A and B are shown apart, each in its own frame.
Chain A
Amino acid sequence: MSAVSNHNQSKPGYTLAYSIALIFPAITIAGFAGVSLPAFGWFPALGFESFSLTPWQTLMTTPGLWEMVLTTLFVGLTATALSLLLTCIFAISCWQTRIWSITSKALAPLLAIPHSALAIGVLFLLAPSGLFSRLLAGPLDWARPPDVLSVNDPLGLSLIVTLVLKEAPFLCLMLMSAVSQTPVRRLVLAGRSLGYTTAQSWLKLAWPQIYPKIRLPVFIVLAFSLSVVDVSLIIGPNLPPLLPVQVLFWQQDPEASLYLLAAAGSLLLLGIVLTGAGMWLGAEAALKRYLRTWMTAGYRGHRNPVLVHAGRSTWIVMLFMALATLVVVSLWTVAWRWRFPNILPSVWSLKSWLDDFPRLIDPLMTTLVIAFASAVIGIVLSVMCLEFRPTHKPWKMRLMTAFFYLPLLLPQMTFLLGIQAFLVSFHWDGTLTAVIACHLLFVFPYCYLSLAGSWEQYDQRYSHVGKLLCGCPWKTFWQVKIPILLTPLMTTLALGIAVSTALYLPTLMAGAGRFETLTTEAVALATGGNRRLLALYALMQMLIPMLFFALALLTPKWSQLKHRKDSSVPASGRTPLYEP
């Protein structure tokens, strides 16, 4: 970190890094401007040229509005709190066990599954005619599926389950990297030597140091859960829908004046996200105050193996359920007849693969083109930022990083609607460039986040040696630094592809409906009646990112093989020259 090579200090380099850093927040903020004007009645592109409060008056008299707002808040906050709770349980009960190491390997592919595909899997599991109910049908003697609202329930409980299935692993991954930056072992050891149980030491010593490190991801999860559209379309409440979904419906309505309503609704959504964040901050402060006595009272705790096992089981059940979604989705792609209450298909067939797969090729190619382009551009921009960032001014660096997260911390629906207003006004909607640019808003921060750690851990002495030997910073960069960082670069590529594959709203809003990706098709099919075809799309959605993650995992092995022949350059950026 302290050793920064000379070319990194160049002025144009800074300017470049700053402009990249500014471009995305600028687009995001422009999106908010773009949505604010229509919300107050001004949208010349649709012929509304006077300011008024009519959109807000219409919004306030929408049937079921407050129900929508409250359910949205409830779902977002509950999903985030449960995910964090599960993460905490995981940390306490699984730390330094085999589950921890298994999880660390299983998380990347699990996270690669797009939200919508996971939602489809959960739908196949939890629906009244789903796999769980079929398993119960035998013992309970059910002739027809129970008439219960186990999915699309008005409170959004099934939506919460889906979100937790996806968000808890994400927070766990963040937790693991936070744990690796914290002397947890020493802290817990200290706690234990004072007579505290492991769990108590974790809660009282380690957690207070780790939580601040995963706080940003927690807020990302919160903003996402409060404004999610695609998962909510599949498994969320539909009468009334959650607010973000209703905003999408308004935006798509033929009545042009409803666009203004959509704009006002999306600003209300922004208000909800801010309120949610405020409530979260309030809860944090309250907990801190309330728990202070408990933290310092010296209670050592009792060893409670039942609780520890319960914690572990919860986590294993969760991993199992995520796996079960994959299984049930795969089964549906080869089922010809699979009526309730059969646990397995009664007639199997590869027909849906043979007949339906050709139709899937076009959306598959579109998905790959968009994903590849946005991931590669995202990586190039991230590398430029990392190479030229102002390392000697930590506050500037932090500010820059904070800017990157803006699109992740604010409701997608709100600023995408504004961006779409701009695109429509300039006739740029429906172009591939617009779609890729909108994807980049989300792909870039993840690429940056994923690469930043490896860039920091990179030992600058390799580059110094390289420059001494060849005298050229560029050559050194390409021939020394990039090969060493190849593994994180490949993982980031896979991550970028996974993020882009999962995106729904950006494709829809910027693509003018002309770009069909696996995700937009799967979400559209989720409201249709063909479970086999839906399963096929969901399975492809799951497989594509997993495939790239597998490739990324194989890269180090392959490059190690190659390098063993050529020279003895270490293939991973994670191995420093000397242990400190």
Chain B
Amino acid sequence: MPLQKSLKKLITCACLLAVSAFSYANSWQETLQEARGQTVYMNAWGGSESVNDYLFWASHQLKDRYGIILRHVKVDNISTVVSRILAEKTAGRDTNGSVDLVWINGENFRAMKSNNLLFGPFANDLPNWRFIDPQDKPTTVMDFGEPTDGLEAPWGMAQLVFINDTETVPNPPDSVQELLAFSQKNPGLFTYPAPPDFIGTTFLKQALSELTPHPERLLQPVSEEDFDQVTQPLWNYLDKLHPNLWRSGRTFPTSATTMIPLLDDGELAISLTFNPNEVSAAINKGQLPDTMRTYVHSNGTIGNTHFLAIPYNSSAKAAAEVVINFLMSPEAQLHKADPKVWGDPTVLSTGKLDTAQAKAFQNQKLGIATLHPEELGTPRPEPDPSWVDALEKAWLQRYR
């Protein structure tokens, strides 16, 4: 059966390759034509002003260039969108769905993929796919260990970075163990968002991958037999950490962005974010003092890629493809990487870009608190998505 399947895939790929060489330009013209006048409802996390501003900019560009109306439907937690589309599928609403474009990765992508909620494969056929190099950036085709299979297109890179106020913490901790030592010495100055907020969950994954004696086990799906054994060091750690957290761990922030004002007012001295540029952006926007910096643990922090995908029942698939292709373009990616705009690292590989474009990326001035790629180091791989749910459930069970 698997052999048959992969054979089928291979043949399809070969055919596609042969056909695409001829009809590539043509079919994209058709897509552009079909897309004109369509409205794309893009359901994306709306908690960051920089992201919202960037999409606002993109919507203007798309309207001017392609006659597409992009509407950003702001969502707290993207998993709600997955449930909506699933509900639509079970209700038999196979066309004219309420979502045309989603910003996802990890467990949500796996949920959509396994429930056949995604349109495609389409990503590898987009004209701007030529700038993607999976050799250079493996996470652009492997989403939390799940092959993307062209069902989602990479949009940006993310890596967990910690934030420190150099005024109070000139020498930030270098590992989660040191973070515990810091918190025991300075109680109340650190906390993390309550899981299932994804940065809260990422902190759990970071701590687990640093603490467990079997980090390779995290790349396999979670199993009931050894969950307790693998995660015991994490719970021991958190039991010690929590009494020394902000508000003595009796409550947790609801998201990482909530922690920005807490940092600003000196309630916290160490925080964390998944966007290496967020602190620079916040300093620029007057939300943080310029004494804030970011740092990573020398053993690496968890990193991943975030993606764009089209639900199978979208009513504007052509326009959604055009939107994604535009958002993957060197121009849009460069604008996105601008620390004054969003500062989200690009998914494109400089080796695939022409010299002028590559230079533009290299010359882009990083923000005052943004780490250089070499300082960020090699990211730790994301655990298998099945760990997310298991860790969140166990955390809620213990600390709620």
Is B375 interfacial (CB-CB < 8 Å)?
no
Task: For the complex, give the distance between the alpha carbons of A187 and B84 in Å.
Answer: 60
Is B356 interfacial (CB-CB < 8 Å)?
no
Task: For the complex, give the distance between the alpha carbons of A106 and B111 in Å.
Answer: 53
Tell me if A513 and B266 are in contact (CB < 8 A): no
Interface residues of A in 204-260 (CB under 8 A from B): 237-240, 252-256, 259
Given contacts A425-B91, A529-B257, A533-B49, contact A513 B251 (CB under 8 A): no
Task: For the complex, give the distance between the alpha carbons of A443 and B282 in Å.
Answer: 40
Tell me if B90 and A514 are in contact (CB < 8 A): no
Give B56's nearest chain A residue, CB to CB: A359
Given contacts A254-B80, A254-B111, A359-B56, contact A528 B91 (CB under 8 A): no
Given contacts A45-B91, A255-B83, A513-B75, contact A339 B265 (CB under 8 A): yes
Tell me if A529 and B82 are in contact (CB < 8 A): no
Tell me if A349 and B286 are in contact (CB < 8 A): yes
Task: For the complex, give the distance between the alpha carbons of A143 and B168 in Å.
Answer: 12
- Chain B residues, Cβ within 8 Å of A128: 267
Given contacts A255-B83, A425-B91, contact A144 B264 (CB under 8 A): no
Is B26 interfacial (CB-CB < 8 Å)?
no
Closest chain A CB from B7 CB (angstroms): 33
Kindly supply a per-residue 1/0 record for chain B positions 58-88, scoring 1 wherever the CB is within 8 Å of any chain A CB and 0 otherwise: 0000000000000001111101111110111
Is A424 interfacial (CB-CB < 8 Å)?
yes
Task: For the complex, give the distance between the alpha carbons of A128 and B267 in Å.
Answer: 8
Tell me if B83 and A252 are in contact (CB < 8 A): yes
Is A318 interfacial (CB-CB < 8 Å)?
no
Given contacts A256-B87, A425-B91, A528-B47, contact A339 B79 (CB under 8 A): no
Is A3 interfacial (CB-CB < 8 Å)?
no
Give A133's nearest chain B residue, CB to CB: B265
Is A129 interfacial (CB-CB < 8 Å)?
yes
Residue from the list B91, B93, B194, B267 in contact with A239, Cβ < 8 A = B194
The number of chain A residues touching the other chain, given as a range, is 35 or more
- Chain B residues, Cβ within 8 Å of A527: 47, 76, 254-255, 257-258
Kindly supply a per-residue 1/0 record for chain A positions 347-361, scoring 1 wherever the CB is within 8 Å of any chain B CB and 0 otherwise: 101010000100100
- Chain A residues, Cβ within 8 Å of B13: none
Task: For the complex, give the distance between the alpha carbons of A430 and B49 in Å.
Answer: 25
Is A152 interfacial (CB-CB < 8 Å)?
yes
Residue from the list B91, B251, B262 in contact with A424, Cβ < 8 A = B91
Interface size, chain B (Cβ < 8 Å): 58
- Chain B residues, Cβ within 8 Å of A528: 47-49, 255, 257-258
Max count, chain B CB within 10 A of own CB: residue among A148, A339, A514, A528: A528
Is B347 interfacial (CB-CB < 8 Å)?
no
Interface residues of A in 524-557 (CB under 8 A from B): 524, 527-531, 533
Tell me if A524 and B76 are in contact (CB < 8 A): yes
Residue from the list A47, A147, A238 in contact with B267, Cβ < 8 A = A147
Is A337 interfacial (CB-CB < 8 Å)?
yes
Closest chain B CB from A203 CB (angstroms): 41
Give A47's nearest chain B residue, CB to CB: B90
Is B289 interfacial (CB-CB < 8 Å)?
yes
- Chain B residues, Cβ within 8 Å of A240: 400
Tell me if A238 and B255 are in contact (CB < 8 A): no
Tell me if A529 and B252 are in contact (CB < 8 A): no
Give A513's nearest chain B residue, CB to CB: B73
- Chain A residues, Cβ within 8 Å of B386: none
Given contacts A524-B47, A529-B257, contact A254 B83 (CB under 8 A): yes
Tell me if B261 and A531 are in contact (CB < 8 A): yes
Tell me if A147 and B188 are in contact (CB < 8 A): yes
* 28 A-B pairs (CB sep. < 8 Å): A45-B87, A45-B90, A46-B86, A47-B90, A63-B400, A128-B267, A143-B266, A147-B247, A148-B247, A149-B250, A149-B251, A154-B251, A239-B251, A252-B76, A252-B77, A252-B83, A254-B82, A259-B83, A336-B286, A339-B289, A340-B267, A513-B43, A516-B74, A527-B258, A528-B48, A529-B255, A529-B257, A529-B287
Known: A147-B267, A514-B41, A527-B76. 11 other contacts (CB 8 A): A63-B400, A144-B267, A147-B248, A154-B251, A237-B251, A238-B194, A239-B194, A253-B83, A340-B267, A513-B84, A524-B46
Binding site for B on A (CB under 8 A): 45-47, 63-64, 128-129, 143-145, 147-149, 152-154, 237-240, 252-256, 259, 336-337, 339-340, 347, 349, 351, 356, 359, 424-425, 427, 429-430, 512-514, 516, 521, 524, 527-531, 533
